[in-house]
Amino acid sequence: MLRFGSAITVSQFLVFVQLSNFNFRCSLIFILIMFFLTLPEKIHTMSEQVERTKCLIIGSGPAGYTAAIYAARADLKPVVLQGMQPGGQLTITTEVDNFPGYPDGVQGPKMMEDLQKQCERFGTDVRFGLVTGVDFSQRPFTISVDEEKIILAETVIIATGASAKWLGLESEKKFLGSGVSGCATCDGFFYRGQDVAIVGGGDTAAEEATYLAKLCKKVYMIHRRNELRASKAMQHKVLQTRNIEMVWDSTPTEVLGDDSGVIGVLTKNIKTGENRTLEVTGFFIAIGHSPNTGIFKGQIELDDQGYIKTAPGSTRTNIEGIFAAGDVQDHYYRQAVTAAGTGCMAAIEAERFLGS
């Protein structure tokens, strides 16, 4: 016997029509019968695809997980969507030595595992899932996940972070975490008394170069032009620092290394074509960050660099009920502990918003 159900495909139906020598009216009746027979199944599938939550947290770095710890303890039953890189930027670092509470330091991935366990202990629902669309025009806010599920959220905490820009060299990838770093404040300490190089010409590179200069014997600052982009004050500081040597008009072409990690950086002068090898054990990339806000464009107010704008001293965005925490709204501090701090603020603000 032929079973009518959603398993019947269009081609099967056409074969059925041909074989049965059906006329147009019969076909129409057949379609209607099929539609009504599969309706309960369709409704069930649709309701399974739509879910409601009081608090949706997008992102799973220190900001997202800390927001989840506070939101869960406030009984908001938060859902965390982990995104493309569960655990965030810290999962691609090695030792974290500056997060309070770890006297002997901690591996970045381990710290993120611990944070996840901590927020799950209070009942947070942590899930794999990528946000593929948002509608913030009315509450509850509508968030599409993996293009198949809809979450209706009373409040949203955006903690999608920022991604460091990389040069794109194979050798840079190879030595990431064993000499190559995207954060001098985090990793500079490991290169005390050694020679290091940093690439970039903006405020971050200038600030990190002067920070490194206090710890390291020598700092090469590689910049692709002969003028820094950094503010005048920072330029002045860099150029006045005795152990910073500018490598102008140059770009790194290869990171050199062996089993011990980085042993040098090969640079090329863009104007003269001259190659130079800098003997360094640490290589810091400071060519900017991109906030992960592409999906929110047009839905929430961003600054001219694409970071989410928040009210001073708060995580409130221009939309009531939506909060932003961590690097997605902070291009200045960019530390795990500041991200965690703003995650806490966001959860408290979300709780008070729901209670008001």
State the nearest-atom distance from the C-beta of 288 to ligand NDP, in Å: 4
Judged by CB under 6 A, which of 88, 161, 182, 201 binds ligand NDP? Answer: 201
Between 140 and 179, how does the x/- string for binding to ligand NDP read (CB under 6 A)? Answer: ---------------------------x------------
Catalytic residues: 183, 186-187
Q: Give the helix ranges, DSSP H, for 126-277.
A: 170-174, 184-187, 203-215, 232-240
Quick one: which of 113, 103, 99 has its CA closest to 335? 99
Structure tokens at 157: 């905490």
Q: Binding of ligand NDP at residue 266 (CB under 6 A)? A: no
Query: Could you give the count of Cα atoms lying within 13 Å of 317 in the half-sphere of its Cβ?
Result: 26
Q: Which is nearer to ligand NDP, 177 or 288 (CB)?
A: 288
What residues from 4 to 63 belong to the interface with ligand NDP (CB under 6 A)? Answer: none
- CA distance linking residue 220 with residue 279, whole number of Å: 10
Report CA torsion sign: 176, 181, 187, 191: positive
Beta bridge partners, 289, equal: 164
Q: Which is nearer to ligand NDP, 204 or 342 (CB)?
A: 204
Between 307 and 336, how does the x/- string for binding to ligand NDP read (CB under 6 A)? Answer: ------------------------xx----
Q: Binding of ligand NDP at residue 251 (CB under 6 A)? A: yes
Cβ atoms 255, 285 nearer than 8 A: no
Quick one: which of 167, 156, 77 has its CA closest to 120? 77
The piece of 90-98, 138-146, 180-188, 282-290 that touches ligand NDP (CB under 6 A) is 282-290
Q: How far is CA 213 from the centre of its chain?
A: 29
State the nearest-atom distance from the C-beta of 206 to ligand NDP, in Å: 7
The piece of 1-9, 50-58, 212-220, 221-229 that touches ligand NDP (CB under 6 A) is 221-229
Find the residue with minimal CB distance to ligand NDP. 202
Judged by CB under 6 A, which of 66, 82, 160, 204 binds ligand NDP? Answer: 204
The amino acid at 289: H
Contacts 24+ apart (CB under 8 A), 304-310: 305/331, 307/162, 307/331, 308/158
Q: Binding of ligand NDP at residue 265 (CB under 6 A)? A: no
The piece of 2-10, 93-101, 198-206, 344-352 that touches ligand NDP (CB under 6 A) is 198-206
Q: Which is nearer to ligand NDP, 116 or 267 (CB)?
A: 267
Cβ atoms 255, 174 nearer than 8 A: yes
- CA distance linking residue 215 with residue 193, whole number of Å: 6
Chain residues that interact with ligand NDP, rule: CB under 6 A: 167, 199-205, 207, 224-225, 229, 251, 287-289, 331-332
